[in-house]
Amino acid sequence: MPTIPTRAPEPRPARRSAVVGRRGAGLAAAVAALTHEALEREFLLTPKPGLVDRRNTGSHRDMDLSTFAASAAAIAPFAAPFFRLGRAAAALPAEAVLATLRPTGLEAERAMYAATGGVNTHKGSIFAFGLAAAAAGRVVGRGDALDAEAVCEDVAAIAAGLVERELGPTHEATTAGAAIHRRFGLTGARGEAASGFATVRHGSLPVLTAALDRGVGTERALHAAFLHLLEHNPDTNLVARGGPQGAAFARAAAAALRRRGGIDAPDFVAAMERLDDAFIAANLSPGGSADLLALTWFLHRLPALAADPPPRRRS
């Protein structure tokens, strides 16, 4: 069982220029290390309403920080094969790529369940990071600069039509996401991917970088990004547990926190803790926003990878 660090380290400043230096095997390993760092930053960020964090296990009874640490350690290495598959598929038409990723995605899900004793800790993250890592490989394989824009555009191309194909009226609603689409029209993880992670690219990522640029610490900047996601991401996990009313409550609570100053409010942490208690009382968990928070960090740090050595892994 991996040990849980109490705090993720401060990153070195991201280089935002078009870095295309590291194209060898080291880059696939660096993408896997960054995936691990992003997942870890998400589960350690505290407080997060309804989610597993250092304060409590949120609205969850079957997982805690050690489950998340074990899960992250088990699934992050799969980002390397996803990246390599993407790089090998750089010249393929985008619509042919998803089929090449599915076996690795399902293997990663099996590794997650093996590491957690059958608990779904990171299914949404495996999907999002699998697509993002593969798209990063395609971007590098084409010789383009590795940045969030290029990766998100390629994810949109790879995932185009996924909602119609997998959630269309002729399909049996076999998963929670499909059932929620049938009842409420939400497109969940598939819709977010097909949009090129629009909620991240045009929302939480600019919020994160704006906060960092004005000198806000990493944890608090991640909180700003998370608050944005809580207000704007149509999270199927919230709907699965609390119905549309549960999702509306979460959105309104996040908007209220923003209006009273967000991360700049003097009692921000106490307000987030009160919200955590309210989410737990209502059994709400914004798991999709947790996934997108990790992805926000990943996309923020990606441009630095091609030039820098991979982030140091903590044992």
Ligand X SMILES: Nc1ncnc2c1ncn2[C@@H]1O[C@H](COP(=O)(O)OP(=O)(O)OP(=O)(O)O)[C@@H](O)[C@H]1O
Which option in ligand X, ligand COD, none does residue 52 bind, with CB closer than 5 to 8 A by kind? Answer: ligand X
CB within 8 A of 251, min separation 6: which ones? 230, 231, 232
Report the residue number, 72 or 131, with the smaller CB distance to ligand COD: 131
CA neighbor of 233 nearest in space, from 262, 205, 199: 199
Torsion angle, alpha carbons of 157, 190, 106, 297, to 10 = 80
Q: Taking the CA of residue 132 as centre, how many other CA atoms within 13 Å lie in the half-sphere pointing to its CB?
A: 36
Choose the binding region for ligand X from 85-93, 123-131, 145-153, 217-225 (rule: CB under 6 A).
123-131
Site map for ligand X, 39-78, x if CB under 6 A? Answer: ---xx-------xx-----x-x-------x----------
- Residue in 237, 254, 308, 310 binding ligand X, rule: CB under 6 A: 237
- The count of other CB atoms within 10 Å of the CB of residue 36 is 20
Report the residue number, 235 or 308, with the smaller CB distance to ligand COD: 235
Amino acid identity for residue 215 in this structure: G
d(CA 26, CA 188) in angstroms, rounded, equals 33
Q: Is 287 in the site for ligand X (CB under 6 A)?
A: yes
Nearest distance from residue 120's CB to ligand COD, in Å? 7
Q: Which residue is nearest to ligand X (CB)?
A: 287
Which option in ligand X, ligand COD, none does residue 43 bind, with CB closer than 5 to 8 A by kind? Answer: ligand X
Nearest distance from residue 97's CB to ligand X, in Å? 22
Report the residue number, 142 or 165, with the smaller CB distance to ligand COD: 165
- Residue in 123, 190, 201, 223 binding ligand X, rule: CB under 6 A: 123
Nearest distance from residue 87's CB to ligand X, in Å? 26
For the chain, the residue count is 315
Choose the binding region for ligand X from 4-12, 90-98, 119-127, 221-229 (rule: CB under 6 A).
119-127
Binders of ligand X among residues 194 to 223 (CB under 6 A) are none
Q: Is 255 strand, coil or helix?
A: helix
Q: Is 87 in the site for ligand X (CB under 6 A)?
A: no
Residues in contact with ligand COD by CB under 6 A are 101-102, 105-106, 123-124, 127, 130-131, 175-178, 188-190, 192, 233-237, 287-288, 291-292
Query: Cis link prior to 47 (omega < 30° from 0)?
Result: yes
Choose the binding region for ligand X from 120-128, 208-216, 242-250, 269-277 (rule: CB under 6 A).
120-128
User: Largest alpha-carbon pair distance within the chain?
Assistant: 52
Helix (H) or strand (E) holding 32: helix 25-44
Nearest distance from residue 284's CB to ligand X, in Å? 9
Binders of ligand X among residues 143 to 182 (CB under 6 A) are 176
- HEC assignment per residue over 267-302: CHHHHHHHHHHHHHHCCCCCHHHHHHHHHHHHHHHH
| Inter-residue contact 49 to 272 (CB < 8 Å) | yes
Kindly give the residue spans of alpha helices, DSSP state H, lying in 89-216. 97-116, 123-141, 148-158, 162-167, 176-184, 188-194, 198-199, 205-213
> Which residues sit at the interface with ligand X, rule CB under 6 A?
42-43, 51-52, 58, 60, 68, 120-125, 176, 237, 241, 285, 287, 290-291
